[in-house]
Structure 1
Amino acid sequence: MTNVKIRVGNAPVSWGVIENVEGERGGYARVLDEMQQTGFVGTELGDWGFLPTDPTVLRQELATRNLKLLASWVSVYLHDADRHAASEADAVRTAGLLAEVGGPESLIVLGNDPYGDPMRTHYAGRIQPEQGMTDAQWQVFTEGANR
């Protein structure tokens, strides 16, 4: 068997930092310190504004702990035509920070945010065909995805 070293990153969400959950959130310095202390080599950006968004400051905070910026999740609202422009702007803003600090290897994950729909939240992962989107809803979703 070959010895293979696997490098693993983490995300602030593992410390409870998530936009739709109330409660105490440790400061970003503590989260990054604990990531480094437990052997992680990188982090996801987390919610916009949790980690510094100034590229120079973020780069320094990560370098101090020998961490890399690996990726970011961006909630987009493909199902809501009124939020398409703001979703696109959020994605572009985040991609710019990732490119500047994380470099060309960093990844951005765009995910439709279903939290505004109680039925989809309640049945997440168990949506039945009859609970799916209508043709009109799919049209709005598709237009958002193709921006």
Structure 2
Amino acid sequence: MTTDNAAARGLRIGTAPDSWGVWYPEHPRQIPWQRFLDEVEKAGYSWIELGPYGYLPTDPHQLEDELGARGLKLSAGTVFTGFHKGDEQWQRAWDQAVQVAGLAAAVGAEHIVVIPDMWRSDLTGEALEPRTLDAAQWDKLAAGQERLGKALLEEYGVRQQFHSHADSHIGTRGEVVRLLELTDPRYLNLCLDTGHYAYYGGDNLRLIQEHPERIGYLHLKQIDPEYRFDVLKNDVPFADSASRIMVEPPSGIPDFAPIIEAVSAIDPEIFAIVEQDMPGVDIDLPLGIATRTRQHIFGCTSFARQH
């Protein structure tokens, strides 16, 4: 197979505001959104995610103009859910979906990445609830996510991609597989975040091989495999360890090339979005990291494409 043929079948590589340290709609230490978009273009990416709603322009015409001026397109938006807590969580989730999915779909995105609430506060590190769910909570979580995925598809034509996450109730391999077993693939598949899955010892390639039909989207990141054990042993909150444990590729694990190639064989239209967690980072650092990361990805596999 030639490199050109491989690239034509390879995954679309993009990036996200998270790779510039953006976790909140507004924060005095975050990079201004105009500079973020300029630097994404400069780093050589064509696809981005919306990031926290309100960071980028929320008027679809303005957003489309700003993206178009830089040759960028939107792959997905993000919604946060806590369905295991009770029926009242539906309205909270749907209120977000109306905003996020409405904006994302208006500018051509086809996916919504859904992140479950963390059991530990990302601001204070305080435990907010037990780390694990009981059977009734599992049922509520699965039913809520499935209902959300069905509504997103029917109302906005976008697909739910569920993102397992450090310090959330869905993090380990067993938890991820249990969620898949409890949900309908028509309405919920995975945004497989390679770093968050490896955080709890998950084997990304094994999950891809065993559940290829449930891989709908990728977040590419690597972790420091040795520091991970310090974090887990000493119960360090993810928010406090994120900028250290999520390292610049290719210095961590997992290797990107086998993952990109395995997912490309499933569906070359799947997005692979670089998302290196760097909260509070010096705003002058991300451009260089993002540029080198893109160069690494395109240098380590021929199954990657820009558009």
> Shorter-chain-normalised TM-score: which range?
0.7 to 0.9
Alpha-carbon distance between aligned partners in 1 of 2:75 and 2:107, rounded to the nearest angstrom? 9
Contact 1:55 1:101 in 2 (8 A): yes
Alpha-carbon distance between aligned partners in 1 of 2:91 and 2:143, rounded to the nearest angstrom? 11
Q: 2:106 pairs with 100, 104, 110, which one?
A: 100
CA apart distance, 1:96: 1.4
Identity %: 38
Which residue is 2:96 aligned to? 90
Alpha-carbon distance between aligned partners in 1 of 2:76 and 2:143, rounded to the nearest angstrom? 25
Is the partner of 1:8 in helix, strand or coil?
Answer: strand
- 1:8-65 Cα distance to aligned partner (Å, 9 max, x none): 210000000013xx77101111111000001100110000000001000000000010
Alpha-carbon distance between aligned partners in 1 of 2:89 and 2:72, rounded to the nearest angstrom? 33
Structure 2 gap ranges (5+) = 126-130, 148-307
Which structure has more relative contact order (CA 8 Å, sep 6+)? It is 2
Which residue is 1:61 aligned to? 66
Which residue is 1:118 aligned to? 120
Alpha-carbon distance between aligned partners in 2 of 1:23 and 1:118, rounded to the nearest angstrom? 24
Off by >6 Å, runs of 4+ in structure 1: none
Alignment of 1:41-56 (within 5 A): 41-56=46-61
Over the aligned positions, Cα root-mean-square deviation in angstroms equals 2.5
> TM-score scaled by structure 2?
0.39
Is the partner of 1:32 in helix, strand or coil?
Answer: helix
How many matched pairs?
133
Alpha-carbon distance between aligned partners in 2 of 1:41 and 1:35, rounded to the nearest angstrom? 8
Which residue is 2:79 aligned to? 74
Alpha-carbon distance between aligned partners in 2 of 1:70 and 1:138, rounded to the nearest angstrom? 29
CA apart distance, 1:110: 1.6
Q: 1:10 pairs with 8, 15, 20, which one?
A: 15
Letter in 2 for 1:118: R
> TM-score scaled by structure 1?
0.78
Residues 136 and 60 of structure 1: CA distance in aligned 2, closer, same or farther (over 3 Å): same
Which residue is 1:127 aligned to? none
Contact 1:10 1:43 in 2 (8 A): yes
